Amino acid sequence: MPDPLSTLLAASALSGAADALFAAAVLFVAYAVFGMTGFGSALIAVPVLAHLWPLATLVPMVALFEIASALLVGGSQRRAVDLREAGTLVPFMLAGIAAGTLLLVAAPSRWLVAGLGVFVMAYGLRGVLARERGFRRVPRWWAAPFGLVGGVVSSLFGTGGSFYVIHLAGRLEDKSALRATLSAVLGTSNAIRLCAFLASGLLLPAVTATAALLLPVVLLGLWLGMRLHERVSRAALMRAVCVLLVPAGLSLVARAIAG
């Protein structure tokens, strides 16, 4: 009778030990960054692991990890959530998630990979070239375009959280409220996306089996990141991440062009 680990391995999307070690290393680094900053795990994991799995497999898997991370890191901050700002953003996010899920099911994977590469490169260049500036409150109606685009990009690539960050950082000056509200929005986004993926048939047994096998590595990365939270500057860390995103995005575009 096979043991549970052998059963999971047989059902998973891992094709061998090399794939498993590669995925584990990427996820460990990605979720260590999440533990330190509360953001950025999908931006690191999805572009790199897209070389290993199609986005229709990878994005639902990362959504499972993101829900676990949001519960672990953000669960203690729920009292600081700005419900008004979250409530303004979420309806538009829902519409974007629905549209993005339909595209993920129907769009050719080659063009999805190219789109992810362009998005990741653009985000990385923005982070590298951006200058620090003081707080400027943006209009509340900005929740509509940022929520819609964030929802679409989240469903397609699992990386739409950056749009929520940009909007909420322009609405909430208090750091505790910003981190707590962002965590609540991201947790809501991932839970809704997971339901959409389940309804559309994207949450396959191979996805859940692979996620179960790799979850301990994700939790270990989160633990390390939370321990390092006070020792590493968030701004410096995210700038370093953005530098790495540029070649990661370029490699995806090159892969899509090569076919």
**Rounded distance between C-alpha atoms, residue 90 and residue 97, angstroms:** 10
Tell me what pLDDT residue 19 has.
87
Nearest 10 degrees: CA dihedral of 200, 187, 70, 157? Answer: 50
**Rounded distance between C-alpha atoms, residue 111 and residue 157, angstroms:** 12
**Rounded distance between C-alpha atoms, residue 133 and residue 254, angstroms:** 34
CB of 85 within 8 A of CB of 172?
Answer: yes
- Note the maximum CA span of the chain: 62
Given CA atoms 38, 205, 153, 82 in this order, what sign does their dihedral have?
negative
Whole-number Cα distances in Å, 45 to 48, 139, 218: 6, 32, 11
List Cβ<8 Å contacts ≥24 apart for 83-87. 85/143, 85/168, 85/171, 85/172, 85/181, 86/181, 86/184, 86/185, 86/188
**Rounded distance between C-alpha atoms, residue 245 and residue 127, angstroms:** 10
257: exposed, middle or buried (Cβ count in 10 Å: 0-12, 13-18, 19+): exposed
**Rounded distance between C-alpha atoms, residue 210 and residue 100, angstroms:** 23
Average pLDDT for 17-41: 86
Average pLDDT for 13-39: 84
Whole-number Cα distances in Å, 103 to 98, 154, 197: 9, 11, 12
Count of alpha carbons within 13 angstroms of residue 13, beta-carbon side: 22
**Rounded distance between C-alpha atoms, residue 254 and residue 8, angstroms:** 33
Tell me what pLDDT residue 1 has.
47
Tell me what pLDDT residue 174 has.
76
Query: What beta strand segments (E) does the chain contain?
Result: none
What are the tens digits of pLDDT across the range 87-138? 899 899 989 988 888 888 777 767 777 887 788 788 778 777 877 666 677 7
First to last CA, the chain: 42
Tell me what pLDDT residue 91 has.
92
Q: How many CB atoms lie within 10 A of CB 228?
A: 14
What are the tens digits of pLDDT across the range 172-226? 877 667 777 877 788 888 888 888 888 888 888 888 888 888 999 999 998 898 8
74-108: burial string, b at 16+ Cβ within 10 Å, e else: beebeebbbeebbebbbebbbebbeebbeebeeee
DSSP H or E segment with residue 152: helix 143-157
